[in-house]
Amino acid sequence: MLDYRLDSPRILIDFLSYHETIKAHSQKTVDEYYLDLRNFFRYIKQTRNPDLRSLPWDEIDIRDVDIRLIQELTLTDIYSYMSYLSRDRIVHQNSRDQQRGLSAASRARKIATLRSFFNYLTNKVHLLSENPMKDMDSPKLQKTLPKYLTLTESIELLESVDGTNKERDYCILTLFLNCGLRISELIGINLSDIQDDALRIVGKGNKVRIVYLNDACQEALRRYRSVRRPIEGRDADALFLSSRDQRISKSSVHALVKKYLSLSGLDSSQYSSHKLRHTAATLMLQNGVDVKAVQEVLGHEHLNTTEIYTHIDNEALRIAARANPLAKVKPSDEETQ
């Protein structure tokens, strides 16, 4: 965990504290904001002070950044920074690979960070009268549809489960495929979160939602809990346990998902636990579940995040196309000659 209070100016500390406490964003999100803004201010200081251009990037101190410097920033400065990210920024900072230029997706995330920061200064603490980001466009992103398993592939994945921890592993895959959980949500489930057919899930930003369990999930949980060994200590209430009698880790879940993907004949390099979340969403929508209901199940804050799944190839749309009374009307032979 990063401690942004050690090398940040007061104005940045206040912004990050706002997201950590008032907005209840995860530590990972706050850390990403911190790294993005530290990088931005290092760039601004280096471009404005020639004496800093020979200094190693990591040695540029931003603790003297204040509202006066920020008030001087314009949209031109933002565009200049984006150009630097696009052309000169090393992609992997701690790697021998010196490839330069961040992807459009990476730049879009950094723009989102800056937009959030300047919105905070303008609308929350009223330290800026003019927001330099107001006319800033995000990089155009290539739209890609999420990868997912078909119903047949999902069944084959479940049927591949075997071995010492088969009840646990089958239950994990069943919850992924039926409830669309994030991996952090799954490993965080406690025994006390299960109430009959309802499962309490703590999602992003510690937001709690209730997911209802279908028959398959309830049966998988029943079978796993019948063999789950009772333990003591801090992880006594954890639902899924490792072989060391501790709450199962993300890496262990990733590994078991990859293992069974391979056993079922699927390319484990193309799929992951998050792809099982995509699968759950896709199968629900393909079988008539309303998109807003899927939004609630997945814990998406915005509906447009869920709507990407509505663009996935859907057999129901083919059936609808074939049902059109004009579907079999073809040009006459004379017209085609």
Residue 195 backbone phi and psi in degrees, to 5 = -130, 100
Instruction: Indicate which residue of 38, 168, 277, 278 is catalytic.
Output: 277
In angstroms, the Cα distances linking 235 to 20, 205, 227, 240, 255 are 25, 22, 17, 10, 21
Sequence-ordered alpha helix ranges (H) in 59-150: 67-71, 75-87, 104-119
53 is known as an active-site residue: no
Ranges of beta strands (E only) in the chain are: 194-195, 198-202, 208-212
34 is known as an active-site residue: no
Residue 116 backbone phi and psi in degrees, to 5 = -65, -40
Side chain identity at residue 235, one-letter code = D
Instruction: Indicate which residue of 147, 182, 200, 223 is catalytic.
Output: 182
In angstroms, the Cα distances linking 77 to 8, 48, 147, 215 are 21, 10, 38, 57
* Residue 167 near residue 224, CB atoms below 8 Å: yes
Instruction: Indicate which residue of 309, 318, 328, 330 is catalytic.
Output: 309
Instruction: Indicate which residue of 204, 209, 254, 259 is catalytic.
Output: 204
Radius of gyration of the chain (CA): 25
**Number of other residues whose CB lies within 10 A of the CB of residue 309:** 24
CA dihedral 192, 196, 198, 202 (to 10 degrees): 0
68 is known as an active-site residue: no
110 is known as an active-site residue: no
Taking alpha carbons only, the member of 18, 263, 66, 75 closest to residue 159 is 263
End-to-end CA gap in the chain: 72
Side chain identity at residue 184, one-letter code = S
Supply the angle between the helices 273-286 and 166-179 in degrees, to the nearest 10. Answer: 50
311 is known as an active-site residue: no
Residues labelled as active-site residues: 182, 204, 274, 277, 300, 309
